[in-house]
Every structure is written in C-alpha cells, then in structure tokens.
Amino acid sequence: MKLLRSFLKVLFLPIFLFPGFLLAQDLDCDVIINADQIQTTDRRVFQDMETAIENFMNGRDWTPDEFKIEERIKCSLSINLVDMPTIGVFKATVQIRSSRPIYNTNYESIVFNFADRDFGPFEYVESMPLEFNQNSYTSNLTSMLAYYAYIILGLDYDSFGDLAGSPHFQIAQNIVTSAAQSGYPGWSGLESTRNRFSLIEDITNQQIQGLRTGLYKYHRLGLDIFENDPESARSEILKVLESIKVIKSRYPGSIFVISFFDAKTDELVNIFDTASMQDKRKAYNLLVELNPNKADVYGKIIN
C-alpha cells in the first residue's frame, strides 16, 4: 500500500521542486491559533504555541514508513482559544482537516473534517517542550495532538488501501485509553457521542467497517479514475453511498458517518453535477436521506 501511495502522490506534483532522496516526516500540517478571546498583555505566547504545535505535528516520524517531502499528508489545525481560566491554562475548540491528492489531477480531496468542541483544558507556557510517549499519558495537549495525527494517518492510509489504516487507529485507541485517566473532556463515551472517544469507537467498530472500506472504494475506485472514466467512478461512489445507508440505519448518530459528509458534501455535488439525470436523481435522493441538513446544497445536483 505504501508503494501505491508513493506512486500516486509523486505523479501529482512537479518533481523538479523536490530532491528525490530527501526524506521528511509524515505530516505537512498548518497550524493557526486564534487568541482574540483571550485577554492578556503578553501575546508572544500564542505565536510560540502555534510554532510549537506545528513543529510537534510536522517534526515527528509518526509511522515507520519513509515519506518523501511531496508525499507528506496535508492537514490543518485551526485552534480557537476561548478561555484562559488561569495563567498558562487554556480551553479551546479546534477544526481538523486533512486531504489527499487525486490521480491525474491537481485536485486535493478532503478526507477528514472534524470539529472538536472540547479541545482542552491544556497547559502551555512560552518555550514549553511538547512531549509525547505512545505508551503512557504525558499531557492533555500532546495526547490530543497525537490522537488526531493518528486519525489523519489512518484515514489517509484507508483511502489508498482497504483497511490499511488499522495500525494507526489502534494507536489512537490506545491514546484514548491512556488519556481517560486525566478526567479531561473528550476522552469518555459518557460525555458525548461526538467527541474523540466516540470517533475512534465508531472507526474501530466492526459493524461500521463498511465505511472504512467505502473510503478506499470512494477514493481509489471512484475519484482516482474519475478523470478517465467518470461514469464508472460515479457508479462506484453510488455503491459507497448505498453501503453508508445501511450503516446509518443501524447507527443513526454515528459521528464517523457525520464526519464523512462534513468532508464530502461539496465534492459530492460536483461529482454528480454533470451526471446523467438518472444518476443525478439517485444521488440526490440518497444524499438527502443520509444528510438531510444539507438538502439545500444537494439540490444543486438536480437544479
């Protein structure tokens, strides 16, 4: 699977920009800190925090695989600091996104789009080292960051190989188990069905495994062939939507299903915008049933 991933990604970018033998870490993560709601005279800590988190995400080898610079997974963390109850302690929300390239195009498809409303509380002071140990709990901040790093990796690998992200999801699940001892929000299934605990529970649930398989079919058998064979690509994507329909009937509140459509809604409209009327109607009916809150967006398919 890694060879396939490397082969596909290297085709999408101008190779002359990158020395072929230079190796980089796994993620290409852009971090934005919004501290407008925090009242303090020392604003340097926020730039320092932004740099430290970006270095933490981008400077580690999260996997044993070797990634060339052009192979790194593009992702972003938009962290909105909402409160500083005491000096050096912050509460926040975060929007996490990741994407992957589509074969024979310059297009990047969003794979993961997730809002975490309980990103914290966490401690940070200027120049504080961010330490993480996969085998033990170190801090809430690095546990949250590492958790999302492995979720991003797992979903990206799943999109290139059927269930290829399993090792990364296992580590994410281990992080949840270790972090649960902290008592901080987001690590327990008793709090919410839309938090970190619930997301990894859904991803690793055998009864929802069809969505992980669907990620592979959607991207490799759908989007990656779309440029050359759009009809076959749409047919495969419709099959994926049918399989998600079965999953949603069993788990109507699945955060994994919700996050899939948070990532794919606009893309699905574009996919079926130029389809046959039969496929337009079929896609529209499925999408409105699966994601009724976006019915007005899906209406563009048939209008």
List pLDDT tens digits, range 68-119: 898 999 999 999 999 999 999 999 999 999 999 999 999 999 999 999 999 9
Parallel, antiparallel, or unpaired for β 73-86 and 67-68? Answer: unpaired
**Residues spanned by the domain of 224:** 205-303
Give the type of residue at 262: D
- pLDDT at residue 81, rounded to an integer: 98
Residues 41 and 139 in one domain: yes
Residues 58 and 194 in one domain: yes
Residues 12 and 130 in one domain: yes
Residues 187 and 79 in one domain: yes
**Residues 6 or more apart from 56 whose CB is under 8 A from it?**
130, 132, 142, 145
- pLDDT at residue 9, rounded to an integer: 46
Q: Rounded CA gap, 223 and 109, in Å?
A: 9
Which residues of the chain register pLDDT less than 50?
1-3, 6-23
- pLDDT at residue 227, rounded to an integer: 95
- pLDDT at residue 42, rounded to an integer: 87
Structure tokens at 296: 């007005």
Residues 94 and 39 in one domain: yes
Q: Of the residues 202, 224, 240, which one is the last residue of a structural domain?
A: 202
Closest CA to 150 of 26, 2, 3: 26
Q: Of the residues 202, 235, 254, which one is the last residue of a structural domain?
A: 202
Residues 36 and 105 in one domain: yes
Q: List % helix, strand, coil for the chain (3-state, nearest 5).
A: 55, 20, 30
Count structural domains, the chain.
2
- pLDDT at residue 13, rounded to an integer: 42
- pLDDT at residue 10, rounded to an integer: 42
